[in-house]
Amino acid sequence: MTFTQEELDFMATQRLGRLATVDPRGRVQNNPVGFFVDAKSGTVDIGGHGMGASKKFRNVRAGSTAALVIDELASVAPWTVRGIEIRGTAEALENQEPPLPGFSGEIIRITPQKIVSWGLGVPSSNREV
């Protein structure tokens, strides 16, 4: 399994993450995105309205890898942060079933190569997959 049960449970409670990609000139772009985890395949799909026309989609199509951070501030007293960072290869896929009504048929699929997680009720993890 790519993700631990604690990571899957956490991601199931979240709706947004921040996706970082790099354009062909080496400039980083970071955007809030909706995401969908496929626990069976161990991949994460990024979807949205007009995804195929987006800079992030063009970056991935041009060969960018990706990093997705999903985190939350669980408490301010005491300060408690929890989250997961997923780094990996990215594919720009077209003509896919939209993940939600109103989303376009283009998605970015991330196949994790490294997963870092913290604050999920188990020791923090930093592992290659």
d(CA 7, CA 10): 5
Task: Give which of 5, 95, 92 is closest to 45, Cα–Cα.
Answer: 92
pLDDT value at 1 more than 70 = no
What mean pLDDT, rounded, does the chain reach? 96
48 by Cβ neighbours in 10 Å (0-12 / 13-18 / 19+) ranks as buried
What are the CA-CA distances from residue 80 to residues 75, 118, 121 (Å)? 5, 10, 11
Question: What does DSSP say about strands 28-38 and 66-76: parallel, antiparallel, or unpaired?
Answer: unpaired
Percent of the chain predicted with pLDDT > 90: 98
Domain range for 114: 5-128
Domain of 61, CATH number, reads 2.30.110.10
pLDDT value at 5 more than 80 = yes
pLDDT tens sequence across 40-89? 999 999 999 999 999 999 999 999 999 999 999 999 999 999 999 999 99
Q: Is the pTM of this model over 0.85?
A: yes
Average pLDDT (17-29) is: 97
Structural domains in the chain (count):
1
